Structure 1
């Protein structure tokens, strides 16, 4: 979504120019007298798509999480709870075949949700014609990888509706995190009638969509969108909110001002705003397993040089970014797989296997840069630095540019700031030199951070190609021994550091203010950040 949700993130700050939602102050009074219960929040970026087969980012994953429902969904404390699956699946002794029963549920257009909706959606996402950048997350399904390459037809993929209420899934190998994986948005069902009616326009406007989750999308604009309670949802009695109004707001100060006037119920904070609110009763901080980092496109003459990449990584102050620019609990990242994310059966954090990587000094950077210039036969170089147009992205990019130009003699960095959707498109086309990216997990396993560096992976738009790395990932993917899996993945992470394939910047935390009246707003480590299903206003 994506990391999870890939999830590819825009930086976690908030964006827009105006607020269209009604004042929560009025709705709050009505909430206790039979009126509407309305939650007003902000998000950092516009939604690129609501087509679960084409989504590839955090901005899309949040509304998808709350308007759609797969076999499972994520609940309180990131526990997996039932969605369209009714009861536990039947699993074959070899762990390769799962059989699910689909509960009695309706789409928002009145159609019955069936096993066919899952088969259609999954095969559509895998079909090369769909051009899904997230088809890779389904490669555990039998023949899915081959079908995505056109080597076999999608009819050979291991998902089949045995009847309207029975879904059979066949895997290539046992997958220890399979249940968790099924909460991800690429595994959502899709209403075939809606897709066929709207064609390429499906998922681009609210009126092209059909929903089976707790909410439907009634409005979708560039600067805002509105979700309303779905009266056809099977578990509608649990849903207390009538509406969720989401504004796309770029400046933190704008969001804070709206929060103070009771027009917003939630706002993220950074820098000086954290200092202003840290003693406030409604202030909180949560760390999440999202890592922000620099990607180096190795098609570029400078960035294909390993010493140049290492010099860049060591020449800017990551601690200054985390503690001064963000000041929200984020920590400098000397790793790629985040801390406090994946633990083995004994509770041991994956991070303990490698500890800190990506270490060195500014003097090391200068020495490496001098060697890189000699190898490249250049004394002056220019790099274009792609970022999104959020407030924090601008500040961090300018900070990194300043350090690079100060410490790496002869280097000029040109910052290219574009809207989030345009940035995703440029990255997908490998049309960039250096870019700042956030990656959040799609499922709770280190593999969700490491497999994207394999040659041919849809997320490998930075042209990294190392057969030894690919072999380590293959070994981890094909092993049923968790210790062996982790050892292979730890070795792979070391390789990313040794070759400076990327430059980790920070592991994100979110400092925020949330109105006391908002209860049960569950925040998640995987997939869309929030669940609105259980929210109530008191």
Structure 2
């Protein structure tokens, strides 16, 4: 899943003032958590949480969303069969009963009474419709249905079956039957993912191509609703009083503000306008001794994609040279300084263990490491093989300060260390960067990926031919075959070996991408915020159990 690198774009003072007014920042209004009191009585903390967001929401259509910003919003305004608890484990959400047949391939889910924000009941048909719509529209996350082993999902993706043949069926309004190709122990965990959310068919079809592009064009059935969404500025959540578990929701309101400039974010925090912010590397030294400072190492990777159809970048020696020419440790320790760590693999360190308890990263080690001299030898060989003497390419990045900072560092490293290399930086809004990637209209692209579920496969099956996350025309039949085998392998130790081998094909055999670093986040969060859950996989945040305690 795309996880946005913390945004930083220098804003003029006037833009800052306009943003504050446009997003309802106020020194005296109820949106300000400082000084406002709850209805419960004098002295009680206002149950209003003010947070910063790194980018606008591209879409809230759960069948089309493919980024961390949208996933977090969907996780808090909608409800599926399961959701993640405070320990990141699946718990029943709209499910009251789950049974399975003897070979665990037919699962029957009984739904609780719940309703959409327009008053209509949430039904099993809503799940069948939404899931089939994912497959029918070739949505970015349709591969999740293959990962979940849902019957005919892979055949549908390959054009060998119709979307209506997906193994999901509404038996009646309260009963959903899901048929799998084979038993899958990850099923309940996967069902917490936003792509498996339900949708109300009548409402979706009434909205047409405007569905989920504005707050009024989407229905809610989760802990919160969206009361406002001002593009590129922010959005507001309100407690959903009709939510089936409304008594567990303590917050009355959440104000999310798009803050692309870290200086702006710090100012908002210092003036009590927001309660939680991500810090830039420039601010880490200033706040590292603050009691509200914390560093979070995340299971997400930042990496370079290559357009494998490019006449020069399609050369493996060129790709290896680019990888080796970058000092990743200096990037994380000197430039970013936010807890990020250099990464020389696809699967990050510290989150995924073998059945025998060994870390995936430790078992597979580092790929494509070497000296500048090694990089230059590969570079010279690659240029000769490509029939050129130099190379000028561009890099597609988001228009955030961190993306720009990383791109400028890469530009300096590659131009200094690889003779004849020129790198042009093309910064565009986050959503546009994703569209450029999907169209493969780039040379290099600075990308991020976070896990959708707790298994190394979430980083490995994105490289299969034609996969929606591939986005670079990369293809190795051996990798595709090994992914297919690992999906049905029930011997966990044997399967883990397959997962190790997939990464070896991607990086050792093909040098298909350049892993740069494992993301880290330095934050300031007021200690009055309790119960705000940060998930390492799937949607990043859950606000359902959060509260404000003065």
TM-score over 0.5 for the alignment?
Answer: yes
Aligned Cα RMSD in Å? 1.5
**Separation (CA, whole Å) in 2 of partners of 1:26 and 1:480:** 51
Is 1:254 aligned to 2:281, yes or no? no
Aligned: 1:519 with 2:513:
no
Once the two structures are superposed, residues 396-426 of structure 1 have per-residue CA deviations (whole angstroms, 9 ceiling, x without a partner) of 0000001100111011101010000111111
1:172 aligned partner: 181
Indicate yes or no: 2:374 matched with 1:351: no
Find the aligned partners of 1:344 and 1:243 in 2 and give their Cα distance: 42
CA deviation map 1:292-344 (0-9, x unaligned): 10011111111100000000011111111111222111100011111122224
Question: Alpha-carbon deviation of 1:532?
Answer: 0.7
* Partner in structure 1 of residue 513 of structure 2: 502
Report the Cα distance in structure 1 between the residues aligned to 2:94 and 2:336, rounded to whole angstroms.
Answer: 39
1:530 aligns with 2:541: yes
Gaps of 5+ in 1: 1-6
**RCO comparison, higher one (Cα < 8 Å, 6+):** 1
d(CA) in 2 for partners of 1:406 and 1:249?
33
Deviation, structure 1 residue 286: 1.3
Matched, 1:9 2:17: no
Q: 1:413 to 1:43 in 2, by over 3 A?
A: same
Alignment of 1:364-513 (within 5 A): 364-498=374-508, 499-513=510-524
Cα contact 1:21–1:40 (8 A) shared by 2? no
Match of 1:115 in 2: 124
1:129-150 per-residue CA deviation (whole Å, 9 max, x = no partner) reads x241111111221012222344
C-alpha distance in 1 between matches for 2:128 and 2:33 = 45
Q: CA deviation at 1:35?
A: 7.9
Contact 1:14 1:255 in 2 (8 A): no
> How many equivalent pairs are there?
529
**8 Å CA contact retained: 2:33, 2:46:** no
> Cα distance, 1:346 vs. partner?
4.2
Report the alpha carbon displacement of residue 28 of structure 1 after superposing the two structures with TM. 4.4
CA distance, structure 2, for counterparts of residue 342 and residue 470 of structure 1: 21
SS at match of 1:169: strand
Secondary structure of the 1:373 match is helix
State the shift of 1:349 in Å: 2.1
Is the 8 Å Cα contact of residues 13 and 268 (structure 1) preserved in structure 2?
no
1:132 maps to 2:139: yes
Q: Which residue of 2 aligns with 1:93?
A: 102
Alpha-carbon distance between aligned partners in 1 of 2:311 and 2:199, rounded to the nearest angstrom: 43
> What is aligned with 1:195?
204
Cα distance in 2 between the residues matched to 1:366 and 1:35: 61
Q: 1:332 aligns with which of 326, 342, 345?
A: 342
Map Cα deviations across residues 256-298 of structure 1 (whole Å, 9 max, x no partner): 1110000010011131311111111111111110011001111
Distance 2:241 2:289 in 1: 40
C-alpha distance 191-423 of structure 1, shift in aligned 2 (>3 A): same
Residues 415-471 of structure 1: CA deviation (Å, up to 9, x unaligned): 010000111111111111100110001111111100011112122221111111112
TM-score by length of structure 2 reads: 0.93
Where 2:415 maps in the other structure, the secondary structure is: helix
**SS in structure 2 of the partner of residue 527 of structure 1:** coil
Aligned position for 1:209: 218
The structure 1 segments of at least 4 consecutive aligned residues displaced by more than 4 Å after TM superposition are: 14-17, 23-28
Once the two structures are superposed, what CA deviation does each residue of 1:120-166 show, in whole Å capped at 9, x if it has no partner?
Answer: 11011111xx2411111112210122223443222211001111111
Pairing partner for 1:145 from 129, 142, 154:
154
